[in-house]
Amino acid sequence: MRSDSKAVLGEGSTDGIGPWLDGPGGRVVLVSHDLADAEIYCRWFNDPELHHYNCDRRFTAFSLDETVDLLRRSWIETGPDCRRFAVRLLGTGRLVGQADIYQIHADSRRARVGLEIGEKDLWGRGLGREVLGMLLEEAFGSLDLHRVEALIYSFNLRSVRLFERAGFRREGVLRERLARDGGFHDEYIYGLLAREWRERRFP
Ligand SMILES: CC(C)(COP(=O)(O)OP(=O)(O)OC[C@H]1O[C@@H](n2cnc3c(N)ncnc32)[C@H](O)[C@@H]1OP(=O)(O)O)[C@@H](O)C(=O)NCCC(=O)NCCS
C-alpha cells in the first residue's frame, strides 16, 4: 500500500488513489480506478481493435453514461473475488491500461488474469510484460494463489506470446468458441502454477 501518489505519479495525478502495486520494471503502477477517467475508458470501449482482441460481446457503441455506470458498479465497487486496477505511467500518471485478477476462488486458490494496454501507440514496448509480471507477483504473493488462468483468442498472437513468455502453458483449446467476422474462432485456456512462476518468472 502506498499513500504518496502525487510524489510518484506526478502533479495532476488523482488524490486518494488507493492501494497500488509497484512494478519491477519501474515504468508503471497499478492503482484503483477513478471515475474521472471515464472519457478515456469510453474511448477504449468504443475502439473496434481493442474490442476485437478483448471482448466477446457484439461490438456496439458504449456511451459515457454506460461507461461511468460500469466503472462504478464493476470496477470501483468490486467484490472480494476480484482486484481491478488502472495502469498508470510513473511520473506523469497517464492512464495507459487496465488489468485485473478476477474469479478469485478462495478454496482452490485460483483466479483468472486479464490486461489491456488501451493506448495502442504504446503496444510492443514491454508494458504488457511489466503489467502481467505485477499481476502475477500479486496473485502468487499477497493473494497466495496456487494457480492462475487466462483465456486468449487464438488470433491474439501478441497476447499468446506474452503469456507463453511468462511461463503459461496452453492447457486446452476451446474449439470455435468465439463468433467473429463471419467465422468461429478457437479460444485457448492457459494456466500457470505458483511454483512454475517462482522457478522462472520472465526469463
Ligand atoms: C496484449 C497486450 C496486453 C500486450 O501488451 P504489450 O505492451 O503490447 O506487450 P509487450 O510489448 O510486453 O510484448 C509482449 C510480447 O509480444 C511480442 N509481440 C509484440 N508484437 C507482436 C506481434 N504483433 N505479434 C506477436 N508477438 C508480438 C513481444 O515481442 C513480446 O514478446 P517478447 O517478450 O518475447 O519479445 C496489448 O497488446 C493489448 O492490450 N492488446 C489488446 C488487448 C488484449 O489483447 N488483451 C489481452 C487479452 S487476453
Q: Render each residue's pLDDT in the chain as its tens digit; 203 residues.
A: 343 455 455 544 443 333 456 556 678 999 999 999 999 999 999 999 999 999 988 889 999 999 999 999 999 998 899 999 999 999 899 999 999 999 999 999 999 999 999 999 999 999 999 999 999 999 999 999 999 999 999 999 999 999 999 999 999 999 999 999 899 999 999 999 999 999 988 87
Q: Which residues pair with 117 in a beta bridge?
A: 97
pLDDT the model gives residue 17: 37
Encode burial over 68-86: b for 16+ CB neighbours within 10 A, e otherwise.
Answer: eebbeeebeeeeeeebbbb
> Is the distance from the beta carbon of residue 113 to the nearest atom of ligand 1 less than 6 Å?
no
> Is the distance from the beta carbon of residue 165 to the nearest atom of ligand 1 less than 6 Å?
yes
Give the residue whose CA is nearest to atom 4 of ligand 1. 128
Give the residue whose CA is nearest to atom 48 of ligand 1. 152
Is the four-CA dihedral 112, 59, 53, 152 of positive or negative sign? positive
**pTM: predicted TM-score of the whole model, two decimal places:** 0.91
> How far lies 197's CA from each of 37, 147, 152, in Å?
33, 10, 19
pLDDT the model gives residue 24: 60
pLDDT the model gives residue 3: 38
Residue type for position 124: G
Residues contacting 145, CB < 8 A, separation 6+: 104, 109, 110, 111, 139, 194
> Is the distance from the beta carbon of residue 157 to the nearest atom of ligand 1 less than 6 Å?
yes
| The three cell numbers locating residue 79 | 467484490
Going from N- to C-terminal start, the domains of the chain cover: 5-200
Please, how many CA atoms are within 13 Å of residue 195, restricted to the half-sphere of its CB? 0
**86 within 8 A of 30, measured Cβ to Cβ:** yes
CATH label, 5-200, candidates 2.60.40.10, 3.90.550.10, 3.40.630.30, 2.60.450.10: 3.40.630.30
- CA 188, CA 175: separation in Å to the nearest integer? 8
